[in-house]
Amino acid sequence: MKQKIKKIAVLTSGGDAPGMNAAIRAVVRTACALGIEVYGIRGGFRGLTNGDFYTEKNKLVEKTLEKYLEKYHFVAPPIYETETMQTASVSQIIGKGGTILLTSRFEEFTNANVRAIAIENLRKEGIEGLVVIGGNGSYQGAHLIAQEAPDIQVIGIPATIDNDIAWTTETIGFDTASNTLSKHCDNIRSTAKSHQRIFVVGAMGRKAGDLALRAGRASGAEAILLPEFPCSDEQLIKMLKTKMSDERTYALVVVAEGVGTPDEIAEKLKKAGYEVKTSDIGHAQRGGVPTNGDRILADSMGYHAVKFLEDGLTDKAVSFDGKIYTAVDFEKIFTEPDVVKHRILAGNYRQYQKITHGEVIVPTDL
């Protein structure tokens, strides 16, 4: 029988997502309730490699990684005395955006030698379990740790505004981001109508169009451009001509980042004779106060992540199918292709268009 886990750590990695703090809070509070020591790691995998553990004190420890700096080209931040996180450490953060543990993108983590340093830092602190909160890239790093350090259990929590992780209906941050973007679209629509012009609004999502689709549907966009379903210039112009008439001389087009920039789409429409303006709120989609939906999702996922570690599970991520929470193998998640495309097809959007007379247009023949 496996001995009860005594020490775990938690980190946030990759792009920030509203609700990450709520997930951190749930991990810490659940661990404390179960008598498990929990440590925070600042700055994601970069911080883990640098040994930058969360502390509320300012006691600088004489500890550096100078011999690795020149070879691996990353700078070690000041390293503070390690201390456990307590419930007071996460007080009143459930409704705050961002992440108190900070985050980063750390491409050097693909180097096995760099990961070896990170794993050794966990072992030095006696860490037996690690919770990684982030998206697909963060999951890759978590999976590698689980594979290369079988003595350390690893569980992932899905947090990305792109909502592009398989085997979970929704990721932490998606609801907030889609609400932020749809509110922006609502505001843009009033000025588009007043000036009788087309507005092209940008949505984040280099490889996934779920954010553009959710916000576009919620704001009644006349066209939504998704990377999963390429649309020709001719198709887009034909759609807009169908939608626009003497009675409606304005339109809202939402374009996912993976399709192109709002300016690029606008130039194509201008060549067709339309008056077009653009709007892109960019990283504001990641910021702000998380919605109740994201807070509850994060709270539940943080709880289950710790429980899965207590149950002895590893190399898995928390998954929610709309009813129950389960642990799914990282490898199973990685091998699920075109996650957003499959969701769209399953949603029967062609039938949706017929019912709503095409107010929301997914530019493809589904």
User: What is the three-class DSSP state of 130?
Assistant: strand
Beta bridge partners of 277: 199
User: Where does the chain show beta strands of DSSP type E?
Assistant: 7-12, 37-40, 129-134, 153-158, 198-203, 223-225, 251-256, 276-279, 316-320, 325-329
CA gap 133, 364 in Å, rounded: 34
Please check whether residue 56 is in contact with residue 83, taking contact to mean a CB–CB distance below 8 angstroms: yes
Q: How far is CA 300 from CA 56, 88, 230, 345, in A?
A: 26, 19, 36, 28
- Decide the pairing of beta strands 276-279 and 198-203: parallel
Question: What are the respective helix, strand and coil percentages of the chain, to the nearest 5?
Answer: 45, 15, 40
CA gap 184, 186 in Å, rounded: 5
User: What is the three-class DSSP state of 41?
Assistant: strand
How many Å from the N-terminal Cα to the C-terminal Cα in the chain? 52
CA gap 322, 345 in Å, rounded: 18
Give the residue numbers annotated as catalytic, written as ranges.
Answer: 162
Please check whether residue 256 is in contact with residue 209, taking contact to mean a CB–CB distance below 8 angstroms: yes
Neighbours of 124 (CB within 10 A): 10
Whose CA is closest to 39, among 114, 139, 122, 159?
Answer: 122
Angle between helices 20-33 and 292-310 (to 10 degrees): 40
Two structure tokens written together for 263 = 């300016």
